[in-house]
Amino acid sequence: MRGEGRIFERKASSVLWCSYYHRGKEYRESTGTADQHKAEKYLKRRLREVENDRDGIKQFIGPQAERIRVSELLDALEADYKLRGKDSPQFKVHLKAVRDYFGNWRAVELTSEAVDRFISELLEGDPEAPPSKRRTKAPATVNRSTQLLAQAYKLAIERRRLSNAPVIRHLSERGNARQGFFGDAEFRSVVDNLPEYLRDFARFGYMTGWRRGEIDSLTWEDVDGDVIRLRGENSKNGEGRTITLDGELAELIERRKAARQVKTANGGMIAALVFHHDGEPIVDFRKAWATACKMANVQGKLFHDLRRTAVRNMVRAGVPERVAMSISGHKTRSIFDRYNIVSERDLREAMQRTQEYLANAPQREQPIVIPPRSARTH
């Protein structure tokens, strides 16, 4: 009968198969055995799962979902990122951490407890490694990996490959906001020690606060007279924006125009990118950046610190915050506030101004003393 399922033989198969219904859909799958009694037990287990789902006890997981590995979910997520142009080197690093740990797991067997163990191992490092070589991860780094795992499950559910996902905790990133920014002299010194092809690249970031990937993407098609238009597909938040060229920024773009002509072994070429290395895209330059910082005696500064520096400089220059956010591409005020950092120099100047005000303030009036009642005259 329909509600009881059935056992049957299938041509070219040495094992018995079973058939049953769930929510009006017929499922057919191998029982994995040629023994009639064992096959019937397998079918009964499936029927109990269907009944538990109907009674709201436990959600039914079909045979196709049971076979899906976490690596397949990650493959689908990676393909989705590539289609959207979001597969950055950082994305691949965080994805690899998840794939190496969970890739061979069946997706339906992954539990919240297993994810917690993964998180703990990243935070604490390999317990078998010597303390000096134990690599621990910051909560923010761990979150980037677990967020990708959560996104992979969400995508599978949206595509109806899975019906549920484990609960994945998000670690607190309180205190994670970096405090680094450049003084003008520091920045100029670092630029002087960079390779020639990176100097204008860095200057552009210092003046605009744009992300490295956004600067990477600029082509001459994005330059329209004295305006640069960043396309939405090249922006982290998916929204395009515009900046106008004036002063030092305009001079920078004029230098880039002069650098469009590139000599090659076959003659010459016109570079399509505004910022390039011998006509080719600028790739990983962390080593060159670190070397330039070391030679400039500037410690612990990242290229991304130029972003918060630009925001701080715009606000200090009196640029309305709404306009500064439009230039730098900050979508929310809370994120913008993380970059609008008060420096030690700002605090020192504030205290100096306060002291100057107090020193130059008019003398306070002497307080009025009211004599005691007995000394008053009538």
Q: pLDDT digit string (tens) for 98-122? A: 999 999 998 988 999 999 999 999 9
Residue 199 · residue 327 · CB < 8 Å: no
The confidence band for 176, taking pLDDT boundaries of 50, 70 and 90, is low
Indicate whether 8 pLDDT > 80.
yes
Question: Mean pLDDT across the stretch 322-328?
Answer: 81
Indicate whether 56 pLDDT > 80.
yes
Phi, psi of 181, deg, nearest 5 = -155, 165
pLDDT of residue 317: 83
Q: How far is the first Cα of the chain from the last one, in angstroms, to the nearest whole number?
A: 115
The CATH architecture assigned to 184-339 reads: Orthogonal Bundle (1.10)
pLDDT of residue 377: 54
C-alpha to C-alpha distance for 138 and 142, rounded to whole angstroms: 6
Share of the chain above pLDDT 70, in %: 86
C-alpha to C-alpha distance for 141 and 153, rounded to whole angstroms: 19
What pTM was estimated for this model as a whole? 0.55
C-alpha to C-alpha distance for 105 and 67, rounded to whole angstroms: 10
The confidence band for 277, taking pLDDT boundaries of 50, 70 and 90, is very high
pLDDT in tens, 334-351: 666 665 555 556 666 767
Nearest Cα neighbor of 219 from 282, 303, 308 is 282
Indicate whether 367 pLDDT > 70.
no
3-state DSSP percent of the chain in helix, strand and coil, to 5: 50, 10, 40
pLDDT of residue 132: 64
pLDDT in tens, 138-152: 888 899 999 999 999
pLDDT of residue 374: 61
